A and B are shown apart, each in its own frame.
Chain A
Amino acid sequence: MVTFAFATLQYESGDWDSAPLVPANVVDSVARYTELDVAPAGVVVSLSSRDVFRYPFTYLTGHLPVRFTPAERANLIEYVDRSGFLFIDDHNHDIDGQFHRTVTDELTRACGPMIVLPNDHALYRAFFTFSNGPPTTSHELNGWGDNLVHKTLKAVVRDGRIGVLYSNKDYSSEWSYHPENKRFLPVDNTKFAVNLVVYALTR
């Protein structure tokens, strides 16, 4: 059986490593709720490297402006066309911020325009059920960033399958804690990550 490894994409511009605890937290959740064979630690893979094709699920985040190099863009296009799943989360959750503007610009150039993912999409039923769409983060509720609760996610879709999932709800901050501290939370706020992984591996 192939082992699932949580891969964080390293890109040249910006702070790609701004959420180092997210991989462990997601791995922990996948192991808690599913029987998927999962690697115990995340990996870092360069977006410009062909090694990115070893990972069907990849994660990209940051605060700073994102500008892909030609090699990164070429890999991104091929990765999406080859049914890879890339989850991009704005660590600022600021729709007017430079990360949001630049990464959406880069995605549009590389993969075409994104669509608003309807809140009854299969992604929200891939494992756990989220009847109201993407779960709200505490950072949105606390008014950080743009002081908005973003009700939908966006996606680049290929033949009905999500290739790139884009979020500015700051799941990177929401999931940035050691998995050992999960026991102190009344509700596990990483369940949506399980949906992402299961969707990526089963669609």
Chain B
Amino acid sequence: MRLNRARRTVDRALGVRILLIAGAGYGAVVLAAALLDAVLELPSWWRRILAAMAGVGAATTALRLILLAWRSRSDESLALWIEAHHPLDYLLVTAADPRCAGNPELEKALAAREFEPAVSRAAWRGVRRPAIAAALIGVATMVLLPAPRLARVVRPRAGDVLNLPARTFSSRTRPLVVRYTAPAYAGGEAVTFEDPTSIRGLEGGSLEVRGPGNPDGLVVAMGDTLFQASKDESRWQVRLGMPPSPAVLRIRDGPVERLLGLEPVRDTIPAVRLVAPDRDSVVRVASGRIRLAALASDDRGLARGWFELIVSSGTGELFRFRTSAIGRRSLGGRSDSLSAILRLDSLQLQPGDILHLRAVATDLGPGYRGLGSSETRTIRVSRPGEADTAAVVLMPPLPGDTAALSERLLIQLAEALEARRSRLARPVLVRESQDIGRDQANLRKQVADIVFTRLSTDVEGEHAHRAQADTASDLTPGELLRQAEEATAPDSEEQLDFQREETPVVAINRPLLEAYNAMWDASRELDIGEPGRALPHMRAALEAIQRARAAERVYLRGRAVPAVVDVNRVRLSGKREDLRPVARAPGPAGLWEQRLRRFVAAISLIPADVPAARDSLLVLRLELLPDAPAVAASLGEAIAALRGGRNPLPPLASARAALAGEPSLRRGLGGWERAGW
């Protein structure tokens, strides 16, 4: 029992000793790490390692000591330890021997000897040195290290550099701590960067930039946009969003400027695949049902999907389009499917119409990135008799004179004049109206050339018509229209070619003839200064022209003869005065020449001012990200190398070669060599 009491005393003292030893060891490592950090400004991951080492070391030490103590925990060991510190003539050792347990004389002799105080003193004496060491380390820590410094090692975290007193820093632009938070739809994760050169994150995320000191007089700008810095205890901070395109954030503190690159990562649009229908089709009758199915996937998350339908109707130069959507629904997750049934009857497709069909999906990201869409299937409704016609290439219509004012533009001019009528003097109104009338007459003559074909060589339309002395010249436009209609009637018994002695008039296009007549009426009104009264006739003429365009046309059968240019004849026959030598002189430097010059200027700074060179390269890199990502990547490597004190020459050489337009080595020619060169 006395031994057990002694054991408890020793155990208490040993426990305290072990704690003090482990603590002193931990404190020593922490102190050393903190002093190292004060000199070298260790990054947070280094400090985490050192903190972990200190903790693991302390725990290991404590465990080892406990293990050693546990091994020597027998009564005999304890008795020996006690005898060593307070000799008892080996009475205690003998009493501890199980073979001598219960010996009354031994117990009587032992009872007469007191050893407990000595045991207590000896046990607690062993605590003295560790306590002194721990106390010294503690005092040193408190004297040498402020609390923020200590916290950097004990509880290291990204961005804690700003916890140090502001006087520690020579400028408010360094160090910077940037906290980037991804958009909510992308998980909203936050990442903290300590003193970065550039930040890369998903577009739409939020940025919180902090630096040491107060915000007074600090200028933070991105392009032309200024940001107001606010105070956060002993720091300044700015909040902004990740821009949609690469940009530079400039932080200026008096003469000192710091650049921070912002590199947005684009949220890719969804990938959509149309599963059904799986091929294009031609149908004779637009009826029945078609099953539609599609699969969509996205890197972040899908939002909505539907099937888009475009119906195109028309031929030649006149087309009409109708769009609609079916199967619209919300999508979820990173992959989902779409399905719908398309009833062709509901689209009211006509022969010749084409239905273009595709599946579309959106994601949760910024809407300005666009839609993800699938392949397009077309379903065409065949024209009657389509299978009966010979497969020939139709000759295109002859082009008209594009230099003439169109009827549409003449209407606009007349409407504008009519709107100004009340503000114009009568002579001015008449003059301007007659100007429009002249243009209308020009257009009418061109229409006449098309409408009035001749069997003679005389190609003049109106004039040849008026030169006729026969009844044709006395016909009113309405009578002319009726005669033309009769002449072109399919059941007409009269021979067109030999109807009269004079050259007959054959109208080949009734709508154009109506347009011609309406233009006559419009010209009469315009010539007397009445644009308002001319407008109905002009609009009728335009409507007739539109009908003429939509009319069925008969083309000569056969393949259109391709136009072949007599190159030798026209060689260098262009007007030489159009070629101005000054135009060939080097004009303002092109974009790439400018970029190359800026690159050369930036690298020339490296020997004298590495930070300035880095900043210049950073700005250039951000400009190149959209259209020259490979060059931007080389510049990024060079910037990282300059920052880390490594050799930047290889990436700089690669970037220079690309900026100068030097050919880059590729393996093979790809499609070019397979083309048979």
Task: Using A159-B631, A160-B628, A179-B565 as known contacts, say yes or no to A138 and B403 having CB atoms under 8 A apart.
Answer: yes
Contact with A along B342-370 (1 / 0, CB 8 A): 00000000000010101000000000001
Residue pair B564, A115 in contact (C-beta under 8 Å): no
Complexed CA–CA distance, A35 and B579 (Å): 14
On chain B, the residues within 8 Å of A25 by CB distance are 563
Contact with B along A171-198 (1 / 0, CB 8 A): 0011011110000010010010000000
Residue of B nearest to A81 (CB): B670
Residue pair A109, B583 in contact (C-beta under 8 Å): no
Residue pair A64, B354 in contact (C-beta under 8 Å): yes
Question: Which secondary structure dominates chain B's binding surface?
Answer: loop
Q: Which positions 156-170 of chain A face chain B at CB distance < 8 Å?
A: 157-160
On chain A, the residues within 8 Å of B376 by CB distance are 13, 65, 67, 102
Residue pair A63, B565 in contact (C-beta under 8 Å): no
Flag whether B573 is at the interface (Cβ < 8 A).
yes
The A/B interface has a contact count, at CB < 8 Å, of 153
Complexed CA–CA distance, A158 and B630 (Å): 10
On chain B, the residues within 8 Å of A63 by CB distance are 317, 319
Residue pair B375, A70 in contact (C-beta under 8 Å): yes
Flag whether A120 is at the interface (Cβ < 8 A).
yes
Flag whether B446 is at the interface (Cβ < 8 A).
no
Question: Among B250-258, B512-520, B587-595, which stretch is in contact with chain A?
Answer: B587-595
A160 touches which of B370, B571, B578, B592 (Cβ 8 Å): B592
Residue of A nearest to B583 (CB): A129
On chain A, the residues within 8 Å of B626 by CB distance are 115
Q: Which positions 102-132 of chain A face chain B at CB distance < 8 Å?
A: 102, 105, 108-109, 115, 118, 120-122, 125, 128-129
Residue pair B675, A139 in contact (C-beta under 8 Å): no
Chain A interface: which size bin? 35 or more
Question: Among B8-16, B57-65, B404-412, B486-494, which stretch is in contact with chain A?
Answer: B404-412
Residue pair A67, B356 in contact (C-beta under 8 Å): yes
Residue pair A29, B408 in contact (C-beta under 8 Å): no
In the assembled complex, the CB of A58 is this many whole angstroms from the nearest CB of chain B, namely 13
B406 touches which of A51, A102, A142 (Cβ 8 Å): A142
On chain A, the residues within 8 Å of B658 by CB distance are 159
Residue pair B406, A64 in contact (C-beta under 8 Å): no
On chain B, the residues within 8 Å of A121 by CB distance are 590-591
Flag whether B453 is at the interface (Cβ < 8 A).
no
Task: Using A13-B378, A125-B587 as known contacts, say yes or no to A38 and B628 having CB atoms under 8 A apart.
Answer: no
Residue pair A40, B402 in contact (C-beta under 8 Å): no
Task: Using A33-B572, A177-B399 as known contacts, say yes or no to A160 and B627 having CB atoms under 8 A apart.
Answer: yes
In the assembled complex, the CB of A37 is this many whole angstroms from the nearest CB of chain B, namely 9
Residue pair B312, A78 in contact (C-beta under 8 Å): no
In the assembled complex, the CB of B389 is this many whole angstroms from the nearest CB of chain A, namely 17
Complexed CA–CA distance, A135 and B354 (Å): 34
On chain B, the residues within 8 Å of A176 by CB distance are 399
Flag whether B567 is at the interface (Cβ < 8 A).
yes
Complexed CA–CA distance, A108 and B669 (Å): 25
On chain B, the residues within 8 Å of A78 by CB distance are 670-671
Residue pair B403, A185 in contact (C-beta under 8 Å): yes
On chain A, the residues within 8 Å of B378 by CB distance are 13, 67
Flag whether B566 is at the interface (Cβ < 8 A).
yes
Residue pair A143, B406 in contact (C-beta under 8 Å): yes
Residue pair B571, A24 in contact (C-beta under 8 Å): no
Flag whether B167 is at the interface (Cβ < 8 A).
no
Complexed CA–CA distance, A122 and B584 (Å): 11
In the assembled complex, the CB of A119 is this many whole angstroms from the nearest CB of chain B, namely 12
Flag whether A97 is at the interface (Cβ < 8 A).
yes
On chain A, the residues within 8 Å of B323 by CB distance are 98
On chain B, the residues within 8 Å of A28 by CB distance are 565, 570
In the assembled complex, the CB of B39 is this many whole angstroms from the nearest CB of chain A, namely 46
Q: Which positions 604-641 of chain B face chain A at CB distance < 8 Å?
A: 626-628, 630-631
Complexed CA–CA distance, A53 and B674 (Å): 9
Flag whether A151 is at the interface (Cβ < 8 A).
no
On chain A, the residues within 8 Å of B670 by CB distance are 78, 82
Residue of B nearest to A73 (CB): B375
Flag whether A75 is at the interface (Cβ < 8 A).
yes
Flag whether B310 is at the interface (Cβ < 8 A).
yes
On chain A, the residues within 8 Å of B319 by CB distance are 63-64, 92
Residue pair B321, A122 in contact (C-beta under 8 Å): no
Task: Using A24-B564, A70-B375, A78-B671 as known contacts, say yes or no to A160 and B580 having CB atoms under 8 A apart.
Answer: no
In the assembled complex, the CB of B381 is this many whole angstroms from the nearest CB of chain A, namely 15
Flag whether B574 is at the interface (Cβ < 8 A).
yes
Complexed CA–CA distance, A176 and B626 (Å): 36
Residue pair B563, A24 in contact (C-beta under 8 Å): yes
On chain A, the residues within 8 Å of B98 by CB distance are none
Residue of A nearest to B658 (CB): A159
Residue pair A50, B674 in contact (C-beta under 8 Å): yes
Flag whether A31 is at the interface (Cβ < 8 A).
yes
Beyond A41-B565, A144-B406, A160-B595, 8 additional contacts (C-beta under 8 Å) are A20-B562, A21-B563, A24-B562, A40-B565, A108-B370, A129-B583, A143-B412, A176-B399
What are 5 A-B pairs with beta-carbon distances under 8 A?
Answer: A69-B375, A98-B310, A122-B591, A174-B402, A176-B399
7 smallest beta-carbon distances between A and B, as pairs: A67-B376, A24-B563, A32-B574, A129-B583, A53-B671, A33-B574, A53-B675
